Every structure is written in structure tokens, then in C-alpha cells.
Structure 1
Amino acid sequence: MNTNTNPYYNEKTMLFFNGKFKKAATTTTDLYGQTLHYGYGAFEGIRAYNTSSGTKIFKATEHYERLKKSCELINIPFQYNIDELIERSYELLEVNNLTDAYLRPIVFCDPNMSLSKPNGVNIMICAWKWGTYLGNNLLNLAVSSYCRPHPKSIKIEAKVCGHYINSILATNEAKNKGFDEALLLDTDNFVAEGPGANLFFEKKGQLFTPQLGNILPGITRATIIELCKKLDIKVHEGQYNLEQLVDADAAFYCGTAAEVVGIRAIDEKEFQLDWEKSLGKKLQSAYKNLVLEQELVLQNQ
């Protein structure tokens, strides 16, 4: 690989691997690993922000606790101390001279060609400067022909490597049709989520979001619900069909990588409420204030 053109690291980039800081360009892993062959691993996406009080990793504890839970749900041993992982994450940002950054911890397995428990487990944390994943423009979504996996077929609440094949297929299908991103339904044809983000929609001054059970319990999703309580915005969690979504006034996606991004249309049917006047826009601003620790701005909105 030509490290001079790699968007994630260069010859100076350091990562954290099994207790040590190593150069990303020269660190290797085994090609017979169980995670490489079967997708048997768990990961997280975390953001750090350059706040008024220095670089802060947003909800680091919640993310690493979810990483631990994901591993436990799929029977991968997790013997790491969360406080130490957070400390190493800050050190990683420092050695790479990063302030605003995206961090990717991943727990992956040793060589094992059987469909059995891991022979051994590894952890890696890397970081890079990354803009908003879905951009800053309003999104045009396509309803995907792929649905979210049935919760009885996988641990839907675990952030597992192999689950994201579903996301890749849905995203590529949408982009090949000229759309910005996909929208997935669940196996009962209720609205679920995006390939890498949770969904909210607005109707008559209130917000609605798919209930847990068929979606990833997003940390940003939970943060948005917390913000709604502070801003006195009513939020409903339930099962909603596509007709209810299309008939909404406005909608948005949210996630660690995407942050908060508005949706223009579903299958070319545009939402009628001006995004600048929507609850999503208000929450987009409130979320940015929160992660940048500009709490006073949030309280005065």
C-alpha cells in the first residue's frame, strides 16, 4: 500500500496495539485471523473534539462500555480496563498531534479457521482526522431493497464487524442509483435506520424515532433524546411504517460519524418543512454546542 496517499495514516502515524504504541505503516496482523475470515470482531467509532477546555473525547466511557458489551454478546473475551483504554486513547491523539479526530477501537481474533470461540484476542485503536461522514448537505435517501437482519439471527444491539456487510450493500445500492444514502426497513417493513446512522422524523412539532430491538442503540441517538428533554421537545419511540415517515414534516440522521444531518427526500419525495426551521436543525446546533462544551449556548436556545 502506498502510505503517501492513504487517507488514514502516513509513515509517522502511530496506533495503539495490544498495549503498545506502534507505527501504523509497519504494524501487521495475521492473514489467518478469525475476524478477517468470518467478521468475528467488534468495533467502535468515537469522536474527539477541540473544545474550549482542550481536546475531549465525546462520551468515551459510553463507547468503550458498548465495545465491551458487544464483545460479551458475541462471546469474545474482553479483559481490558475501560479507564486505561480511555487514557491510551488520549495518548494516541497526543502522539499523533490530533485534536478534532475520529477514533476506531477494534477487538479482533487470532487465527482460527473453525466456527468456535476465539483462540486469542487483540485490541487496536487508531485515529485520523475525518470530516462529517455524510457531509453537510441535506441527504436524498433511497429505500433499500435490503432490510436490517432479524434480531433472532444476530445480536442486533452489538456493533460487530460482520454486520456491516448489510450496511455496505445498502449504501452501494443507493449510491449506484444516484442517491446519497440508503434507508433500511426491518424484517416487518417498519422503518429501521440508515446503514450507519439512526433516524428521527418530525411531525407537528414532535419527534419520532424507531424503538430499540431492530436497530443499533446509537450513543448519538441517546444523546439526541437527552437534548430533547433539555429543550422540551417531545420524543416518541415506536414502530413506524414508511408512509408515516414520508408524510412527516422533516427528518434527520444522527450518529458519531454523521453527527446530525438533515434529510431532503425519501425516494425523491421531499419533506415540506424548511430544514432551517425544523427541530432537526435546532438539535444539530445543540449537539454541536454540546460536543464542543458550549453549554451556555445550548441553555440559551
Structure 2
Amino acid sequence: MVGAYDDRDGKIWMDGKLVEWRDAQVHILTHGLHYASSVFEGERCYGGKIFKGVEHSKRLKRSANLLDFEIPYTVEEIEAAKYAMLEANGWTDAYVRAIAWRGAGPDMGVSASRNPVRLAVAGWEWGNYYGDAKMKGAKLALSKWKRPSPETIPSEAKAAGLYMICTMSKHEAEAKGCSDAMMLDYRGYVAEATGANVFFVKDGEVHTPLPDCFLNGLTRQTVVGMLKERGITVHERHIMPEELEGFEQCWLTGTAAEVTPVGQIGDFTFEVGALTRDIAESYEALVRS
């Protein structure tokens, strides 16, 4: 699929029905556009099956509740919408984006409790999120922006507004010739990349930031389980940025990123080692099993 995302052939599921791609539009006074009252999920379909689709739909509903609104569809109805969209477009391998938001209605201020909640499911065929970095290791910059305290945001929600600093961080990183940026949290601990969780290897053990102020990704949880099944010790803990110098390997996890090796973060370098390759290959096999 090529072309701008608003000018393509295909179908998008929107508010209970399939509509032509170019007709899937919202009004300029949509509340979600002005006040970020929007939540979403990114999922991948492999061979006709969405990996952890139900878990994603449950998280979508939970994210909406954390933003104080209710999606007017059940998990089962959201799942049916995803597969209806895929079937209508003839896709068995695709990225799936479900999004819910407060639409246009009688309220147009910070408060929007009377506005309707809308839901759409789109998709597209998407290759490696980081391109050839999946083979040789991604290069990351260090972001000046930090993940905020959970006292200031609903950090457990996959909410659109929380990605504003991610977009700025990634743009800055790309301007430096990097694939992405690594962010610290409000306390100065290593947190995550702009749209992926991060893992490190040292002396055969794995270290990954404790997700106490950022999203505990479903891919992250899957990979932690894979490591433990192999008998590998996993330390979920606070990691200081100066510790990066002692780590030997590094990788990112996410629905879009899948398992992507990291070759460099700032001035710190990592090898694309055996454990990184094993987890990447095993994850690829798992999602297609």
C-alpha cells in the first residue's frame, strides 16, 4: 500500500459499519482532536490471526476508562470489527489500529461528558518498523524529554496525548540520523524508546526498566515470559543511564517494533548477540504459530 494515509483504496470500520477509506472522516470540532481525549491500540495480524488481539481490546477498554469514558462496544464486538476490516481489505498479514475518542457533540471545552464516544478500526500492510535495523541494530539518541510521573498522567493508558513528547523526541533523533530516541523517566531512570520497551543483557542475565510510569507493553510481557521459560534471570528494576556502559546487548520490544536489536544508544554501543537473535527469531516463530 502506497500514498498518504488519507488517500488510499480500501475499507475502514467506523462506528459499526465498513466505510470507504477516503470517507472515514471526523469533524474539525471533534473533542479528541482538541483535547486528546483518545486512546488506541497497535496490533499485528500474522497469517490471518491477530497476536494477542483480545488482550489489546481489553486494554483499549481499560485505557478509555482511565481517561473517564466508556467505549460503547464489547471486547467481542471490537474483535469482530478488526476481523471484518481485515477481511474487507483482503489482508492476512497487516498492522491493525483500533482507536476510540470523544467526538463532536454539545460540549466544546475541557469537559465533554455529553459528547458521543466513537470507535474506528483501520489497518495497513507494514514491514519492519525500524527498517534494516532489525538485522544490524537500531541507533538511538537520548531524548531531552522525560516520561512524566504517574501522578500527572494515566501512565497505564495507551492514550494519544501521552505520545506528544514521543513524537518530538523521535523527530529530534531522526534529525541526528538515528532510528529512535531513548527516554528517561521523571526521576532520571531509563524508561523506554518512543514507542517500544527496552531490554539489556549483562553476564547472561537480562535487565529491563520497571514499568511504574510507562506502559507495560504486551510484547514486553511476552518476551519476559519467553526469557523466564528459558531459565534466564530477568531483573525488572530501576536502571540508571550510566549503567548502559556495562551492558553487552540491547533490544526493543513492541507490536510495531516486534523484537529489534539495538546497536547504539547515544555514546554506548551493544553487540547484536546470540540471546538477542534467539529472542527475535523465537518471537517471530511464536506470533506465526
TM-score (norm 2): 0.94
Contact kept? 1:75, 1:117, Cα under 8 Å: no
2:61 to 68, 84, 87: 68
- One-letter amino acid matched to 2:109: S
Show the counterpart of 2:3.
5
Q: Which digits, 9 at most, give the CA deviation of each residue in 1:100-133, with x for residues without a partner? A: 1000000011223211143110000001101121
Show the counterpart of 1:140.
139
SS at match of 2:148: coil
Q: Please report how far the alpha carbon of residue 200 of structure 1 lies from its aligned counterpart in structure 2 after TM superposition.
A: 0.4
- One-letter amino acid matched to 2:15: N
Structure 1, gaps ≥5 residues long: 294-301
Show the counterpart of 1:284.
280
Q: Which digits, 9 at most, give the CA deviation of each residue in 1:222-276, with x for residues without a partner? A: 00011112222211101010111232011011100010101101113312xx414
Show the counterpart of 2:150.
151
- One-letter amino acid matched to 2:28: L
Show the counterpart of 1:49.
46
Show the counterpart of 1:90.
83
Show the counterpart of 2:165.
166
| Runs of 4+, deviation exceeding 6 Å | none
1:30 paired with 2:33, answer no
**Length, aligned pairs only:** 283
SS at match of 2:111: coil
Q: Which digits, 9 at most, give the CA deviation of each residue in 1:154-211, with x for residues without a partner? A: 0011000111111101101111122221000001110000000000000100111111
Show the counterpart of 1:196.
195
Show the counterpart of 1:115.
110
SS at match of 2:188: coil
SS at match of 2:4: coil
For 1:256-267, list aligned pairs within 5 A. Answer: 256-267=255-266
Contact kept? 2:71, 2:119, Cα under 8 Å: no
Q: Please report how far the alpha carbon of residue 4 of structure 1 lies from its aligned counterpart in structure 2 after TM superposition.
A: 7.3
Q: Please report how far the alpha carbon of residue 90 of structure 1 lies from its aligned counterpart in structure 2 after TM superposition.
A: 1.2
Q: Please report how far the alpha carbon of residue 28 of structure 1 lies from its aligned counterpart in structure 2 after TM superposition.
A: 2.0
SS at match of 1:132: coil
Question: Structure 2: how far apart are the matches of 1:4 and 1:190?
Answer: 39
- One-letter amino acid matched to 1:46: E
Q: Residues 129 and 255 of structure 1: is their aligned pair in 2 closer, same or farther, counting only changes over 3 Å?
A: same
SS at match of 2:140: strand
- One-letter amino acid matched to 2:250: A
Contact kept? 1:8, 1:128, Cα under 8 Å: no
Contact kept? 2:43, 2:51, Cα under 8 Å: yes
Show the counterpart of 2:237.
238
Q: Residues 103 and 8 of structure 1: is their aligned pair in 2 closer, same or farther, counting only changes over 3 Å?
A: farther
- One-letter amino acid matched to 2:225: E
Aligned-pair identity in percent equals: 34
For 1:119-134, list aligned pairs within 5 A. Answer: 119-134=115-130
Show the counterpart of 1:299.
none
Q: Residues 230 and 275 of structure 1: is their aligned pair in 2 closer, same or farther, counting only changes over 3 Å?
A: same
- One-letter amino acid matched to 1:269: F
TM-score (norm 1): 0.90
- One-letter amino acid matched to 1:38: Y
Question: Structure 1: how far apart are the matches of 2:76 and 2:126?
Answer: 25
Q: Which digits, 9 at most, give the CA deviation of each residue in 1:26-82, with x for residues without a partner? A: 2321110110111111000010001xxxx1110001101110110001101222111
- One-letter amino acid matched to 2:239: Y
